[in-house]
Amino acid sequence: MTTVRAYRRLLGRAGLMLAALALLAAAIVYGLSERALRRAWDVPLATVSVPTDAAAIAEGRRLATIRGCANGCHGKPGIGGAVFDDDRWYGRLVAPNLGDAVRRYSDAELARVIRHGIKRDGSAVQVMPSDMFAQLDDADLGAIIAFLRAEPAVEHALPASTTGPLLRWQLAFGAPGASFAAARIDHAAPHPPKPRADDARAWGRYLAHSTCTECHGADLRGIHEAGFHTPPLVAVAAYPLEDFRQLMRTGVALGGRTLNDLMTRVARERTSRFTDAEIDALHAYLVTLASAEP
């Protein structure tokens, strides 16, 4: 009898101890993840010239649509915000209402959040591909900000973002670059004006790096992660120009193939806004990737 009781007491203590350890571990993960989320990044504000004429605003709308900002991640149609992802383990990520945000941000703060991935309070944005937007030149960035400023604010009720346990773990122990574009960006890099249209390859390189890298990887060699796969863009070498135009305009791939939902939507909603000259320049650059491959 006494041995059974002692055994039970021991088991109870072990259970309490385990529970205390689990609580401690959870508190550590929580603390470290909050620290990563609140870390202030020291990236100074830089002035950017923002046009106000109708042509620049229309161009900004086109550029923002091609990059998945308008009529994409931040809501459809427009920029009223959207629930980007909602997952039990990772949490809920809400792309905010940009009509509201631009009224709180100065032009320089908007430039910094777009190009450097740093919010007004100095903390870093998650998921937004600022390392791609960092490739934009001042004129394109200025036009995008002009468009955002010109959009009327719309009321749109959105839930708050939440941070799930797996994401907390990643924030606590993963490399910062896995969570924040800000950690992947060279914040001191210059932003030279984009190449002139008569240098098709250089222009195409600018377009590819500021439009396709989000999904096809910073080096355009494709992304292979759990649940997310994209091909390397050397694939374009097999595309005659006419077929590449068709892909960019309609999403129909070489040989009449239908691609998955994501690239189909990218073509219909984004790259179909490219001009003919832009698609031709992209093609001129992407076909050279094959010879650049080791």
Instruction: State the residues that interact with ligand HEC by CB under 6 A.
Output: 211-212, 214-216, 230-231, 233, 235-236, 247, 253-254, 259-260, 262-263, 266, 271, 282
Name the minimum Å distance from CB 146 to ligand HEC: 23
Taking the least distance from each CB to ligand HEC, the nearer of 107 and 269 is 269
CB 45 within 8 A of CB 105: no
Amino acid at 129: P
Name the minimum Å distance from CB 43 to ligand HEC: 25
Side-chain half-sphere CA neighbours of 280 within 13 A = 7
> Does residue 272 sit in helix, strand or coil?
helix
Taking the least distance from each CB to ligand HEC, the nearer of 190 and 256 is 256
Taking the least distance from each CB to ligand HEC, the nearer of 119 and 283 is 283
CA–CA separation, 26 vs 87, rounded Å? 19
CA–CA separation, 96 vs 73, rounded Å? 9
Name the minimum Å distance from CB 109 to ligand HEC: 25
Amino acid at 159: P
Name the minimum Å distance from CB 287 to ligand HEC: 11
CB 258 within 8 A of CB 252: yes
Name the minimum Å distance from CB 210 to ligand HEC: 9
Taking the least distance from each CB to ligand HEC, the nearer of 45 and 259 is 259
Taking the least distance from each CB to ligand HEC, the nearer of 57 and 69 is 69
> Does residue 95 sit in helix, strand or coil?
strand
